[in-house]
Structure 1
Amino acid sequence: MKRLLVFVGLLLTLFIFGEAVVNYALLEDITTTNIWNLLGSGSSAWNFYVQLWKYPALLTMNKDGMLIPSAAAEVPKIVEENGMYTVTVKLRKDLRWSDGSPFTANDVVFTYNTIQELQIPGGNWVGAYEPTKVEKIDEWTVKFYFKEKTTMTIYYDTLMTAIVSKNFWAPYVEKAKKQENPVNWLLSQEVVDPAITALNLGKIEKGAFVEVKRVVEKGFYLPEGEENLYYENGGFVIKNPTTGFEWTSNNPAPEGSVKLKVVNGPYIDKIIYRIYGNKAVALQALQKGDVDFVLNPLGLTSGEFESLKGVPGIKLTVNPSLGFRYLAFNMRKYPFNIKEFRQALAALIDRDYICNRVLQGKAIPLSTPVPPANTFWYNADVKTIGEGLSRGERYQLAIELLKKAGFSWDQEPVIDPSKAANPVVKRGKGLKGPDGKYVPDLELLAPSGEYDPMRATTAIYIEQWAKDLGLPIDVKLTDFNEIVTRAFDEVDFDMYMLGWGIGRVPTYFKSFWKSDQSAPEGFNTPGYSNPEFDALIDEFEMADSFDEAVEAIKEAQELLAEDLPYIILFTTPIYEAYRDTIEFPFTDTLDGIQNYNGFPENVVRVK
């Protein structure tokens, strides 16, 4: 009888009055329903999970990282004409908004012009500022004009900008223009605008739940039944049997059999995003069956993952992460402005030992800011300084590098590599720079063990190895916000340890390391400045082909491994768990299911 009651309760959870319902857990409340704010100062993973999927973009990427059309009918070419670079985008004619109005060139032009005219703030709108003009050619054609051929920015920022419905937003924009502060007024409007999907926002109870429900009747949603076909050789096809729309990749062209077929729904009527105060409570809800999946950009910890193994009704998945932890140097200051000093410290840091012994396999060592799973952009030839050396050999290499740059000691360290357990015969003391002056005490800022035990532990090991050679490095485990403030706002630091979540396409190379992006105005906290690197990033951005872009970014990875504005440390897998009462179209995907916002847009199913 007890088992029967549990089954009946589960049915009530999944099907309320005949509706197919999925329950997701959020760890934070949403803060806005306004798309202009959502991609501006209101940007957060929680807002994105619940809403970002409902807006179209001209281009997107499939699960394998291929650039594909979304609201566009094809991937357009960049053409040089009359001293400008233009992109003419043909739109799909078979899309419409959830209020019934067609998706047209009017929506595209209105979105870009509104962003530029009102100067909508926010890094997620940055791509919309690239074109000097966006014009409507006809109802289904839009033309973009650019001063420079920044190929990667055009494809992966500008043409991936979220598009809004002109029919809905034009009255608000016109009213905003009459206000004393047009932007503030527009961003303050909390509304539910049309979606390009069959689902949209419903009831919202702050601190309790957010409802997303079907707003388009079955049979009246044009992309319903649309097929995404992944071929064995990497080829890709979009096919809509209802409207006749079809697009086929040409690099590579599909060959062989179809390895994965994803068919568009919707298969559900409602998603309830339940708000939980912390992850522990959300995971309890998952185990009880109150929610089907816990959305979290970091996924589960390895401990949480292990605790869910064998739990009835729970399925587990592990995927590579799009992100990395790193150690950054302030290259504006001595001795971090000396490359050999940075290289010596890198030689001391044994990533394999940290990840496999200290962190017990819960982290994956990295030598480049492009994760190996991101195979298209990853340079497998990049090696870390000291890779494959023993502990004693690492000490010897670090000493050689320091001596090469003119460093010396009052008491030079003595190393015996044959003593594997402890090769340090005599620790170094009184490290002096090439000018004969003592190296001052150096501070390494790292997150506390409570916030991130992995980084805290790694920092302590780095301090120990450095002091073995007389490098006066002291770790300060501190608040995350203090590190961010000192590194990005005040630029007042020696070294710090943080992490980045990154995109699949390495446009972040410019933000993190190009010389004109130096903090506090930009994200280049080390103050790294290398004309050769800058030239490679320019080549990457303005490449005529993706092969040229890949070659430039692979060379840039080699330079970073040599110059070391960052020491790339490790990444962590994305561990996730979900109830077996729901079904995703696939679970093997870079950065996990959470990176797809839990697949709310018409492909998640209730079993």
Structure 2
Amino acid sequence: MKRLIILVILLSILTVGLSASSERVYVGAWPYDMPPVGHFNTFVSRAITLGIYYELMHQPLAFYYWATGKYEPVLATSWRLEPANKPEWFIVNLRRGVKWSNGQEFTSKDVLATYYLGYLMNWPVWRYIDKVEASGKYTVKFHMNNPSSVVPRYILRTYVIRDYSTYGAYADKVMALLSAGKTRDSDEMKKLRAEFEQFRPKGIVSSGPFVLDVDRMTEAEIVLTKNPYYWNAEAIQFDKVRLVNGETPTVTPMVLAKEVDYATHGFPPATEKQFVEIGIRIIRPPIYSGPAIFINHNIYPLNRVEVRQAMAYAINRDENGFVSLGKSGVGIKLMAGFSDNLVPLWISKADQKKLNPYPYDPKKAEAILNGIGFKRDKDGIWIDDKGKRMEYELIVPAEFADWSAAAENAAAQLTKFGIKVTVRGVTFAQVPQEAEQGRFQLLIQAWGAGHPHPHFSFYQDLIRFNYPLGVGPGMNFPMKQKTKVVGEVDLDKLVTDSAIGFDTRLQKKYITTLALAFNELLPIIPLWERYGNNPALDGVRITGWPPEEDPIYKNSPYSDNFVIIMLTKGILKPVK
């Protein structure tokens, strides 16, 4: 009897082990906050969206491939501009037969709910559209009051579609207020926005292949399980997606232990070397963005252009990039406000020569400050023309190893120059709120954007953390400016105009003006352009990584992530 019991126990253990080992699991990593700090209202800051993995739950209308400039249908099946000769409408046909993870059908009501709540939240696409209409259950029409070539990008890629079942009640209220003649600036709409920002759904209803298992959430990891209603289930090769919670310090030992299959964190050069030594592949895609010093323009003399220009000359950006991320941190050369990789596509060689590259030149920086009446005190610290020492705090996301290194290095360089800067780390989820509310002196956030059109980068640089967002005072950089290089400019209008119409020659004119104005004014100071140093583990749990020369790696890993495409299409497979 005793032997029989032992045999039963052993068989049970073996069965559990075989069951566990047969489960096909992909393991990634992304930081998140547990509720109640983190939440599931995906329109509001601090939502648990899981970054690149969000599209495994809420799908976009299409994927995009940078190498070809082409879209691939996902929740949409086709789209077109009408009329073809002078477009006013962008019309999207939706995929039929799609169900949400709660069993409800995906229809035009979900798209309308998404975009009208986007209106409430001041999404920039509403600079170009003024209404969204449904033509039956499976067709949606976006009317362009400012016809623009970026509207397809905004609609097909920039925003994922949320479900009406969760958000419809609020979307209906937005549409009712608009029908009553109210606008985003009305008291009624502001009150609704304040109410909506406190809305807390119990989870995420998925259109994608996986569903977040709220009951299995822990401080350590989130588990995504298969969506039983997913429309293309046969393409999905994995039973679960596990996502480790944490930034670089937490994730690094797990990558080294080969417990994570892919990560996009900013790993220091020494760590990257360790990955390579143990046989972990490094994928190095362009990100078309990087860290910048954002400046609170409420603070004198940081709101003086000469001070910002002096700071740019006083920082060796090549050094800053290398100590932060090795070969993946490349100092900005052109200081145009968008990626050096994209500048030749939009700005002529003649106009590129007008861009000041701000080479590392502390003597030039000193001459600029002396020229406006600043002097050094006995400690070598600069004193402004009002007699105040130039001493500032630089806020940085504490968990971002690469940005933290950039902040420490920039602070050391500026302090050596005589602008005393101390670094304060703040949890990554809080930093954007500090920026939006203007609760900073200097702050590290991203410049540029992983989109092929510079409009998106200028929106990030000039508007995302500035007062036009409508969230708070932000960095409070005035959008109407006088410049030496292009005269008087309305930067807010130029950001919109840079994407107006479909004539790229005219768009290049606006983009050139924006770039030259940005280059002179330096409302923020870009430090370096980031390239991924993404560890990709092959042969332990997953396989199927395309070779290094595959054009899919030209995709930006944050805005058009290739791993999400590979998981969704079944390119990445479990090891047998």
1:529 aligned to 2:480? yes
Distance 1:443 1:140, change over 3 A: same
Given residue 78 of structure 2, which amino acid in structure 1 is its aligned partner? Answer: E
What percent identity do the matched residue pairs reach? Answer: 16
Shift of 1:561: 0.9
Distance 1:305 1:440, change over 3 A: same
Q: Which residue of 2 aligns with 1:308?
A: 275
Question: Which of 262, 271, 292 is the aligned partner of 2:261?
Answer: 292
Distance 1:132 1:322, change over 3 A: same
Q: Which residue of 2 aligns with 1:345?
A: 311
Question: Residue 77 of structure 1: SS of its match in structure 2?
Answer: strand
**Equivalent residue runs for 1:58-73 within 5 Å:** 58-64=61-67, 66=69, 68=71, 70=73, 71-73=75-77
- 1: distance between equivalents of 2:30 and 2:247? 9
Question: Residue 236 of structure 2: SS of its match in structure 1?
Answer: coil
Q: Which residue of 2 aligns with 1:542?
A: 500
Query: Is the Cα–Cα contact under 8 Å of residues 288 and 556 in structure 2 kept in the other structure?
Result: yes
1:462 aligned to 2:414? yes
Q: Deviations over 1:259-306 (max 9, x none)?
A: xxxxxx2222x124154566555443344444433x45x342222211
Query: Is the Cα–Cα contact under 8 Å of residues 63 and 589 in structure 1 kept in the other structure?
Result: yes
Question: Residue 138 of structure 1: SS of its match in structure 2?
Answer: coil
Distance 1:87 1:448, change over 3 A: closer
1:507 aligned to 2:456? yes
Shift of 1:512: 3.6
Question: Which of 504, 523, 529 is the aligned partner of 1:571?
Answer: 529
Distance 1:439 1:502, change over 3 A: farther
Given residue 23 of structure 1, which amino acid in structure 2 is its aligned partner? Answer: V
Q: Deviations over 1:30-65 (max 9, x none)?
A: 659x9971232443452x455433323335532448
1:90 aligned to 2:57? no
Query: Is the Cα–Cα contact under 8 Å of residues 59 and 67 in structure 1 kept in the other structure?
Result: no
Distance 1:565 1:140, change over 3 A: same
Given residue 350 of structure 1, which amino acid in structure 2 is its aligned partner? Answer: N
Q: Which residue of 2 aligns with 1:318?
A: 284
TM-score (norm: length of structure 1): 0.67
Deviates more, 1:570-579 or 1:512-521: 512-521
- 1: distance between equivalents of 2:319 and 2:151? 38
Shift of 1:337: 4.6
Shift of 1:150: 5.5
Let me know the Cα RMSD of the aligned residues: 5.0
Question: Which of 19, 43, 61 is the aligned partner of 1:39?
Answer: 43
Question: Which of 327, 330, 333 is the aligned partner of 1:364?
Answer: 330
Shift of 1:461: 1.1
Distance 1:316 1:282, change over 3 A: same
Distance 1:365 1:590, change over 3 A: farther
Query: Is the Cα–Cα contact under 8 Å of residues 444 and 474 in structure 1 kept in the other structure?
Result: yes
Shift of 1:431: 6.4
Question: Which of 386, 390, 393 is the aligned partner of 1:442?
Answer: 390
Given residue 364 of structure 1, which amino acid in structure 2 is its aligned partner? Answer: V
Q: Deviations over 1:68-107 (max 9, x none)?
A: 253334343265999x943333334575556776644344
Query: Is the Cα–Cα contact under 8 Å of residues 449 and 460 in structure 2 kept in the other structure?
Result: no
Question: Residue 80 of structure 2: SS of its match in structure 1?
Answer: coil
- 2: distance between equivalents of 1:105 and 1:96? 12
- 1: distance between equivalents of 2:170 and 2:459? 35
- 1: distance between equivalents of 2:212 and 2:25? 14
- For structure 2, list consecutive stretches of 5 or more residues without a partner in the other structure: 1-12, 176-190, 482-487
**Equivalent residue runs for 1:182-261 within 5 Å:** 187-191=199-203, 193-197=205-209, 199-202=210-213, 204-207=215-218, 208-216=220-228, 221-222=231-232
TM-score (norm: length of structure 2): 0.70
Shift of 1:365: 0.5
Shift of 1:575: 1.6
Question: Which of 551, 568, 574 is the aligned partner of 1:601?
Answer: 568
Q: Which residue of 1 aligns with 2:437?
A: 489
Q: Which residue of 2 aligns with 1:271?
A: 240
**Equivalent residue runs for 1:582-597 within 5 Å:** 582-583=542-543, 586=546, 588-592=553-557, 596=561
Q: Which residue of 1 aligns with 2:184?
A: none
- 2: distance between equivalents of 1:497 and 1:215? 38
Question: Which of 123, 135, 138 is the aligned partner of 1:137?
Answer: 135
Given residue 205 of structure 1, which amino acid in structure 2 is its aligned partner? Answer: R
Question: Which of 160, 163, 166 is the aligned partner of 1:162?
Answer: 160
Query: Is the Cα–Cα contact under 8 Å of residues 130 and 143 in structure 2 kept in the other structure?
Result: yes
- 1: distance between equivalents of 2:326 and 2:203? 48
- 2: distance between equivalents of 1:485 and 1:93? 39
Shift of 1:190: 1.7
Query: Is the Cα–Cα contact under 8 Å of residues 131 and 146 in structure 1 kept in the other structure?
Result: yes
Structure with max Cα Rg? 1
Q: Which residue of 2 aligns with 1:249?
A: none
Distance 1:536 1:51, change over 3 A: closer
Query: Is the Cα–Cα contact under 8 Å of residues 266 and 533 in structure 2 kept in the other structure?
Result: yes
1:553 aligned to 2:564? no
Question: Residue 460 of structure 1: SS of its match in structure 2?
Answer: helix
Q: Deviations over 1:369-411 (max 9, x none)?
A: 322345686758367646567x5xx51x4455456x6547699
Shift of 1:109: 3.5
Query: Is the Cα–Cα contact under 8 Å of residues 78 and 87 in structure 1 kept in the other structure?
Result: yes
Given residue 81 of structure 2, which amino acid in structure 1 is its aligned partner? Answer: K
- 1: distance between equivalents of 2:554 and 2:341? 10
Distance 1:561 1:427, change over 3 A: farther
Distance 1:407 1:168, change over 3 A: closer
Shift of 1:558: 2.1
Shift of 1:519: 8.5
Shift of 1:560: 0.8
Q: Which residue of 1 aligns with 2:58?
A: 55
Query: Is the Cα–Cα contact under 8 Å of residues 58 and 72 in structure 1 kept in the other structure?
Result: yes
